[in-house]
Amino acid sequence: MRSSNKHEIIESMKKRPHLFILGAGATKATIPNGDKNGRQSPVMDNFLQEIGLSDLLKEVILETQSNNVEAIYSELVENPKYINVVTEIENGIVSHYQQMELPDSPALYDYLILSLRKKDCIATFNWDPLLIQAYNRVNKITSDLPEMLFLHNCVEVGLCEDCKRFAPFHNKICPECGKAYKMPRLMFPTKNKNYSQDIFIQDQWRVLDYFLQNACIITIWGYSAPDSDLDAKDMMLKAFSKTFRKLDQIEIIDIADKDILANKWEPFVQETNYHLNIHRSLLDTLISEFPRRSIEGYTKRYVEGWWGNSTLTLKECMSFSKLRQLFEPLILNEKNNNYNVI
Ligand SMILES: [Zn+2]
């Protein structure tokens, strides 16, 4: 390969995005002891008990033996007799998540968002507002932050169906037409996940497709391999497929047993030529070694053949002023269009 040609390939590679895909485990890891007020992020099994709504089920007769809220909801939705119970469950879930708040000191979501840039993307399956709260906190340090996608909607998203625009739900009113924002629907029956009728979700998945095709690194955090959700399964197969995208590296962050994880991801991993790393924590991944420079660092090491180490790595900070200080050298360089690893 001519050296100028190789140089061009390396430079164009560095411009590719880093895509993060977040599941329930990511929020759990961000607030391991509950949120600011001790509120937990529930999991799908035992969900109604955890958020104090299990009494609602005393009024209904269910066929499903499952404790999974999606299974229960899917069955209730099909029975017109239970329309009020369905509404109460929907409202209870929204209200639980709307009250969730990040603790005051920097949390993993703050580190994650600040460690990526505008060309990158975080796509989450979570309904909670914590990612958006973190975005607003680190936005005070720099506005060059990743795009965020909410693949199953989020309680902090407000939607104007007339103008087809969305904004933070707490802004309340659409500035174009003056109508109140609607919160996109959170729950869909599993048998018939009619996402195609939801313009917000449709738009989010369309953008995700761009990132799946172009990402140089995909990191999947706290998300179990999907079995029942067909859209999600299709998306994962795309993410791992070498025919769909020129695959470089996949990282998985999960605290489950390594053998269980390896089994679970086996059908996907074959496609990647085993370019897969499994980590226990966000702080062990490429963004931690190369914050705001993950693709640059990866390219420098694995394509250009660099043997050095980054001198600026992610570490836990007790305050936002410490976090700002840590990132300052990188952000200063960015003002001069310098995105080199330091
Ligand atoms: Zn509007």
Q: Where are the domains of the chain?
A: 3-32+105-152+198-335, 47-98
Residue with the larger pLDDT of the pair 146 and 69: 146
Q: Read off the pLDDT band of 226 (50, 70, 90).
A: low
Selection from 57-71, 111-125, 216-230 with the highest mean pLDDT:
111-125
Neighbours of ion ligand 1 (CB under 5 A): 160, 162-163, 174, 176-177
Q: Which two tokens stand for residue 341?
A: 């690893």
DSSP alpha helix (H) spans, the chain: 3-14, 24-30, 47-50, 69-77, 83-98, 108-114, 130-138, 199-214, 230-240, 258-269, 286-289, 294-302, 320-335
HSE-up (13 A, CA, CB side) for residue 190: 16
Q: Read off the pLDDT band of 35 (50, 70, 90).
A: very high
Interval between CA 164 and ligand 1 midpoint (Å): 7
Distance CA 212, CA 261 (A): 22
193 pLDDT exceeds 70? no
Interval between CA 142 and ligand 1 midpoint (Å): 29
pLDDT of residue 190: 67
Interval between CA 168 and ligand 1 midpoint (Å): 13
pLDDT of residue 245: 65
User: Which of 77, 63, 275 minimizes the C-alpha distance to 189?
Assistant: 77
Interval between CA 162 and ligand 1 midpoint (Å): 5
Residue-wise pLDDT tens digits, 199-212: 888 889 999 999 99
Query: Quick one: CATH architecture of 3-32+105-152+198-335?
Result: 3-Layer(aba) Sandwich (3.40)
Q: What is the dihedral of CA 301, 302, 303, 308, to 10 degrees?
A: 20
Interval between CA 199 and ligand 1 midpoint (Å): 14
The model carries a pTM of 0.92
Residue-wise pLDDT tens digits, 241-292: 776 666 588 899 999 888 888 888 877 777 777 788 899 999 999 999 999 9
**Percent of the chain with pLDDT strictly greater than 70:** 93
Residue-wise pLDDT tens digits, 130-171: 999 999 999 999 999 999 999 988 999 988 888 888 888 888
Residues 6+ apart with CB under 8 A from 278: 251, 252, 253, 254, 258, 261, 262
